[in-house]
Amino acid sequence: MYRSKKGFTLIELLVVIAIIAILAAILFPIFAAVRAKARQSQCASNMNQVAKALLAYIGDWNQAFPIPCNAAFEWDRENWRIAVLPYCGGDYNVMRCPQPTKYPFIFRQGTLEPGKEVGHYGLNAFLTHQRHCPLGPAQWFTISYMDEIQDPARTFMVTENKDGDWSGEPYHTYPGDSGDAGHWAAYHGKGSNFVFCDGHIRWMTLEAMEAGNFYYWWKVKPSGYDK
């Protein structure tokens, strides 16, 4: 005798859907966290290559840091990313954080259009030579050579900066600038990857960097910060 197969009842189907929804609610945040951690790790790997390139450049130039930008904001001239690019094997993608950002990523030497970003990493401006980028008081740019740094293990060299919404590149990376580009950014949770002058990489929260004495991490004492 032929027997028809018993199908799912509506209640059973709803139970299955509810179970799937519960599992999705539990697992999706976990998957998102794993993806975010992977991006943070890839970012750290990119920054490690940038740090090695910078240290190689510094070694070739008698311990001098590259200039962050050029005078008069002429973007088609030399800047630190262009200077160290040959030490990265010419691969500009190492200047890119894999975490999605607001503006499209481009990398070229030349005039930039508004709403473009040439890199996600910024050089510590206090480690650069003042005559090349007159953006403020001269005492803000006092360290030019690696061997002048008091504590390389506690002085950051490169970190992540915000993608700018104006024509030009983030050229300095220090708090207090009138523009958005150049400020450090929290692309990974509430913090960023920081490369220090001894070459090690550390994730830090922005609150830790800005907790009343962020200049400590710069190892520079500009006017008004000489305690």
Q: Is 1 within a domain?
A: no
Give pLDDT, residue 6. Answer: 63
Q: Is 223 within a domain?
A: no
Q: Is 227 within a domain?
A: no
Q: What's the chain's length in residues?
A: 227
Give pLDDT, residue 112. Answer: 46
Q: Which domain holds residue 192?
A: 13-217
Give pLDDT, residue 215. Answer: 44
- The whole-number mean pLDDT for each consecutive block of 10 residues of the chain, a chain of 227 residues, reads 63 84 84 84 90 92 76 51 85 80 57 50 69 43 70 82 47 39 68 86 77 46 36
Give pLDDT, residue 178. Answer: 40
Q: For the chain, how many structural domains are there in total?
A: 1
Distance between start and end Cα atoms, the chain: 95
Q: List Cβ neighbours of 121 (8 Å cut-off, separation of 6 or more).
A: 46, 47, 50, 95, 97, 158, 159, 160, 161
Between CA 192 and CA 204 the distance in angstroms is 6
> Which tokens belong to 86?
């040959």
49 backbone dihedrals φ, ψ, rounded to 5°: -65, -40
Give pLDDT, residue 212. Answer: 44
Q: Is 179 within a domain?
A: yes
Question: Which one, of 194, 192, 188, lies nearest residue 100 by Cα?
Answer: 188
> Which tokens belong to 200?
């090690």
The sign one gets for the Cα dihedral 159, 165, 169, 175 is: negative
Q: Is 173 within a domain?
A: yes
Return the H-helix or E-strand segment holding 196.
strand 191-196
Q: Is 8 within a domain?
A: no
Q: What is the pTM of this model?
A: 0.67
Q: Is 226 within a domain?
A: no
Q: Is 225 within a domain?
A: no
